[in-house]
């Protein structure tokens, strides 16, 4: 079984507007309301792939109750710790400008609530089990939390897939998680790169070199998602760039999480490097063709897997 940890889940509302007016009134058409947060998005895709998994983390208030109900409806095992604060609600608005996102910060987590999460992780951990630590952390959670979780899980014989950004990623890497999947913007921030690349080719070569460097820190697998430019995969023997599949994009929300889920599914199933790449690209392409952060259907995934 795979366990996903989402410390800062959300209700994700996806809406459309004909013209986004700054400083004015915008009348939205709500198209999708999902249980979200990166780890929860991973769990939803794993459910489609028939991989047993459990989602844990923090939830609170009415939004937290809504997340619990939606996961139950999707038959996803969940065991979240209730907190006093209110789980956040994020709004994603599609317009002529593209997708504009408004993300709330989430509740303030108390030290005793964080201790409860550590305890739940210890209770669930079994040797060989894979834990996916995903997403941002709400207020009250120290930036070395993922690093401490990684060290604890390694001590219990578990594997760790880290998918986060900023200080959580930087500090998390100090504990040498087994697998990571930053996107290109998160990777640039990690290395302090603020200037844009002159071309896609330059960006890809830079990212490939960084994937190799990150692998040398003691990791076992590195993936870097590049959006429309595809993704890079490194297993220590080679660092490979794979172009994105051409699809009619409905919503890019959750595509990176879908890739994380596909990689976690394959690694937990002991698949070969090339099969991991096939699944990662197929599942993330399928996620781009669904509304909001909904996972791709199994039929859509199979369709892309059959493409060369």
Size (the chain), residues: 308
- 3-state SS, residue 4: strand
CA 43 to chain centre: 10
Residue 210 burial by CB count (10 A; 0-12/13-18/19+): exposed, middle or buried? buried
Cβ-Cβ contacts under 8 Å for 208 (sequence gap 6 or more): 232, 234, 239, 241
- C-alpha closest to that of 88 among 125, 135, 50, 132: 135
Please calculate the CA angle 157-238-194 and round it to the nearest 5 degrees.
90
Select which of 79, 257, 268, 270 is catalytic: 257
3-state secondary structure of 89: strand
Q: How far apart are CA 223 and CA 259, in angstroms?
A: 9
3-state SS class at 112: helix
Distance (Å) of CA 1 to CA 201, 256, 264, 265, 293: 39, 21, 11, 10, 23
Active site residue 275: no
CB 97 within 8 A of CB 21: no
Token couple for 189: 């921030």
Per-residue burial over 11-27, b if 16 or more Cβ lie within 10 Å, else e, is bbbbbebeeeeeeeeee
CA angle 119, 122, 125 (to 5 degrees): 150
- C-alpha closest to that of 283 among 235, 216, 211, 223: 223
Q: Give the residue numbers marked as catalytic.
A: 257
């Amino acid at each position: 079984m795979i366990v996903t940890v989402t410390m800062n889940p959300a209700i994700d509302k996806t809406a459309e507007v004909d013209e986004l007016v700054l400083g004015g009134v915008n009348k939205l058409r709500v198209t999708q309301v999902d249980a979200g947060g990166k780890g929860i998005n991973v769990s939803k895709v794993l459910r489609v792939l028939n991989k047993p998994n459990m989602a844990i983390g923090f939830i609170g208030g009415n939004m937290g109750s809504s997340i619990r109900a939606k996961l139950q409806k999707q038959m996803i095992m969940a065991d979240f710790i209730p907190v006093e604060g209110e789980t956040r609600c994020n709004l994603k608005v599609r317009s002529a400008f593209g997708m504009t996102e408004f993300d709330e910060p989430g509740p303030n987590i108390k030290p005793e609530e964080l201790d409860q999460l550590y305890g739940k992780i210890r209770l669930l951990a079994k040797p060989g089990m894979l834990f996916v630590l995903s997403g941002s952390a709400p207020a009250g959670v120290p930036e070395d939390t993922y690093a401490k979780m990684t060290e604890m899980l390694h001590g219990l014989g578990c594997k760790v897939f880290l998918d986060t950004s900023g200080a959580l990623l930087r500090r998390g890497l100090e504990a040498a998680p087994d697998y990571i999947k930053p996107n290109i913007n998160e990777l640039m921030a990690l290395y302090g790169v603020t200037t844009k690349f002159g071309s896609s080719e330059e960006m890809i070569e830079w990212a490939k070199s960084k994937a190799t460097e990150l692998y040398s820190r003691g990791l076992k697998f590195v993936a870097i998602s590049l959006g429309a430019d595809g993704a890079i995969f490194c297993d220590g023997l080679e660092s490979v760039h794979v172009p994105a599949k051409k699809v009619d994009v409905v919503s890019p929300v959750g595509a990176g999480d879908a890739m994380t889920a596909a990689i976690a599914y394959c690694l937990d199933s002991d698949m070969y490097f090339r099969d991991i790449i096939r699944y990662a690209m197929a599942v993330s392409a399928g996620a781009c063709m669904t509304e909001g952060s909904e996972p791709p259907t199994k039929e859509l995934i199979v369709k892309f897997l059959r493409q060369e």
